[in-house]
Structure 1
Amino acid sequence: MTEDSGRERTLHQRILGDIEGRIVSGEWPPGHRLPFEMELAAQYGCSRMTVNKVMTQLAKSGLIERRRKSGSFVTQPQAQSAVLEITDIEAEVRSLNLAYGFRLMKRALRKAGEEELRLIDVAEGAPLLALSCVHMAGPRPFCREERLISLAAVPEAETADFTATPPGQWLIGQVPWSAAEHRIRAVNAGADMAAALAIAKGAACLVVERRTWSGQGAVTQVCLTYPGDSHTLMARFTPASQ
């Protein structure tokens, strides 16, 4: 390896590390336009070809999107959830190398009426705790959570501090579940949902509804709504035995 090729490799690694660090740290958030290749070449005192190789590598790894005549932009990270698993939202966010945050928006006690009976498998008049939350990924809303908890199955939920711990995390640690049901659908964001997720009214959203049961009956029903352009669902299958 010649001295020039060794210097090029070292510069390549340095430029790559600098740009990756700014993206992962949030200094350059999704949508941020990176400096043009000529600007970076001048900044690092290297050839434009070296910078081009770095940008190609960043694009292949999914960190940036290259747009003809417009430049290169930081991509919106895509989260993946397993369809048949109960995932930890904080873990999903941290897997994207983004800071996790959580806000409890509403909390109310209610008795199961006609509307609630369509959502959760409890008797009419059963005591429920209704919660509405927003989970954050860095500065952006990640998903909105709307949840009903059966106080007959989990009476401790009535006094739990859900401003400190997200209800999903709390329930996983508190109540072992024996069965779960998922339903997945797509919706367009209404005004309230658009405001909660900081997206345009009418934007496509992915909705995952889940119900869980334990030995005491229904535990919870939750509706998780994600911006449709930043979330995918994943499932792995094996062939059925013949």
Structure 2
Amino acid sequence: MTRAAPNPGRRIREDIEGRIRSGEWRPGTRIPIEQELAARYGCARATVSKALGELAAAGLVERRRKAGSFVAHPPVHSAVMTVPDLAELISARGEAYRWEARSIRRGRVGAALHIEGVHFAADEPFALERRVIELAEVPAAADTDFMVEAPGTWLLAHIPWTSARHVIRAVAAVRGEAKSLGVDNGTPCLELERDTWRGDRAVTHVRQLFRGDRFDLVAEFQAGGMK
């Protein structure tokens, strides 16, 4: 018995998914426009649109109004109860990492270092960061070049911490934040605020704003002492 050929919609899904999973089409790659795919597969444009919609629902494709469809960036996962190094998390996903400092200044009394910058994954904005480092506890930070090294990466490598507190919120990006992240005003984002201490002494406070489609916070729990 001759096996029936898959319908055009299924062929489109399987072909595009195969290119993505094989690495032929990297995150951010622009997918051919719907008219081109319709001609290539000999089907209606509506069939192509449906197939791309299903790929988007599976997290493989990102559809941007008036811009087309692109290979989606896989979300980065981080455990809620840890202090993650974004450079390490992004690199682990196979994406090129880059830090771009926007401003570095001392506080009015010189007791704290204020740093603002953007973390990039595959040359696209991943997170906006605003950080305060307490120089009384971390004096070496005053002589560190945070134009070339992300402060979080440096702190994790040089300054041990003993406790941390996370506050996580869903927020909408305001104008300046949206511009830094390359999204529209009001785009849903994940805000993470974290304070870390060494003993009873503050080390750093950071606010990181992530595009909502690029970052997952994951917590795993085991029941203990339940009867």
The alignment's TM-score, normalised by the length of structure 2, stands at: 0.75
The superposition leaves residues 110-161 of structure 1 with CA deviations (integer Å, 9 ceiling, x where unpaired) of 14xxxxxxxxxxxxx6700000010011131000010000000000101101
Alignment counterpart, residue 219 of structure 1, candidates 203, 207, 216 = 203
8 Å contact kept, 1:108–1:130: yes
Alignment counterpart, residue 24 of structure 2, candidates 15, 18, 22 = 22
8 Å contact kept, 1:24–1:97: no
Task: Give the aligned residue type for 2:90.
Answer: V
Query: Which residue in the other structure is 1:3 paired with?
Result: none
Q: Structure 1 pair 174/216, CA: closer, same or farther in 2 (3 Å)?
A: farther
Query: Which residue in the other structure is 1:104 paired with?
Result: 101
> What is the RMSD of the two structures over their aligned residues, measured on CA atoms?
3.5
Mapped to 2, the partners of 1:137 and 1:89 lie a distance apart of 10
- Name the SS for the 1:229 alignment partner: coil
Alignment counterpart, residue 140 of structure 2, candidates 142, 151, 156 = 156
Percent of aligned pairs sharing the same letter: 36
Mapped to 2, the partners of 1:166 and 1:160 lie a distance apart of 10
Query: Which residue in the other structure is 1:129 paired with?
Result: 113
The superposition leaves residues 54-86 of structure 1 with CA deviations (integer Å, 9 ceiling, x where unpaired) of x9xx889743479xxxx9752342222211111
Residue 87 (1) aligns with residue 84 (2): yes
Residue 36 (1) aligns with residue 37 (2): yes
Mapped to 2, the partners of 1:232 and 1:100 lie a distance apart of 17
8 Å contact kept, 2:99–2:120: yes
Q: Could you list the runs of 5+ residues in structure 2 that have no partner in the other structure? A: 1-13, 43-51
Alignment counterpart, residue 174 of structure 2, candidates 190, 196, 208 = 190
Q: Could you list the runs of 5+ residues in structure 1 that have no partner in the other structure? A: 1-12, 42-54, 112-124
Task: Give the aligned residue type for 2:204.
Answer: T
**Higher mean C-alpha displacement, 125-134 vs 181-190:** 125-134
Mapped to 2, the partners of 1:63 and 1:19 lie a distance apart of 8
Q: Structure 1 pair 233/127, CA: closer, same or farther in 2 (3 Å)?
A: same
8 Å contact kept, 1:210–1:223: yes
Larger Rg: 1
The superposition leaves residues 154-204 of structure 1 with CA deviations (integer Å, 9 ceiling, x where unpaired) of 001011011121100100111110001100012211111011111111111
Which structure has greater helix proportion?
1
Displacement after TM superposition at 1:15 (Å)? 8.3
The alignment's TM-score, normalised by the length of structure 1, stands at: 0.70
